[in-house]
Amino acid sequence: MRQFKTSVLVSLTSIFLTGAAYADSLTLSSNDIAHGEFMSKAQEFKGFGCDGGNVSPQLSWSGAPEGTQAFAVFVYDPDAPTGSGWWHWQIVNIPADVNSLPAGAGTPGSGSIPQGSIQIDNDYGTKGFGGACTPKKNGAHRYQFTVHALSQKLELPENASGALTGYMVNAHSLASSTIQALYKRD
């Protein structure tokens, strides 16, 4: 009997894992950045001693789970010497029928963000994308570009903080995918 129970458990586990393998999975890609690779000067901030292009990279995603009502895109540096990391970009309520953002979409006033989307103040104090600007001689930092499929559009107060936005996105995230790019200044 014990062998039968083990066999049934193994079979059920196999069915579950096989089914999961066939399920859509959210995948993030980009023409401008790559996982584990250094970003170009185009993605460096212009200000705070940095003189880059401050251009948000092109991003595309596919495989959103059923029930996705909106998307959010975050860019976060967990290595910033702040004790709490650094929010470089948070854009929420991207419509569910949108699956990409062009390069430069995070530039305030560019008109490139999808209608209905909301850009949150980054840690530079502006709405939109704020590029990499690692302190000199601080080594390489990781920049986590993450897309979240959301179960609903978010209702956020005007001037919501990055922490509150992160909390709400994580509370309603059905799936996420991350490209972790690198940057450093010597």
- 8 Å CB contact between 38 and 184: yes
CATH code, 175: 3.90.280.10
Residue 174 falls inside a structural domain: yes
- Tell me how crowded residue 3 is: count the other CB atoms within 10 A of its CB: 7
- The tokens describing 111, both together, are 């008109």
Nearest in space to 54 (alpha carbons), one of 100, 118, 109 = 109
Sign of CA dihedral 7, 9, 10, 14: positive
Report the C-alpha gap between 120 and 154 in whole angstroms. Answer: 12
Residue 3 falls inside a structural domain: no
Residue 14 falls inside a structural domain: no
User: Which class for 94: exposed (0-12), middle (13-18), buried (19 or more C-beta within 10 A)?
Assistant: buried
Residue 15 falls inside a structural domain: no
Task: Report the pLDDT value the prediction gives residue 24, as an integer from 0 to 100.
Answer: 66
Strands 46-47 and 59-62: unpaired
Phi and psi angles of residue 40, each rounded to the nearest 5 degrees, phi first: -85, 170
Residue 57 falls inside a structural domain: yes
Start-end of H helices in 80-127? none
- 8 Å CB contact between 147 and 96: no
Residue 68 falls inside a structural domain: yes
Residue 6 falls inside a structural domain: no
How many domains is the chain built from? 1
Task: Report the pLDDT value the prediction gives residue 186, as an integer from 0 to 100.
Answer: 79
* Residue 169 domain boundaries: 24-183
pLDDT averages per 10-residue partition of the chain, 186 residues: 39 36 78 98 95 97 98 97 95 98 94 95 96 93 98 96 97 98 93
Residue 116 falls inside a structural domain: yes
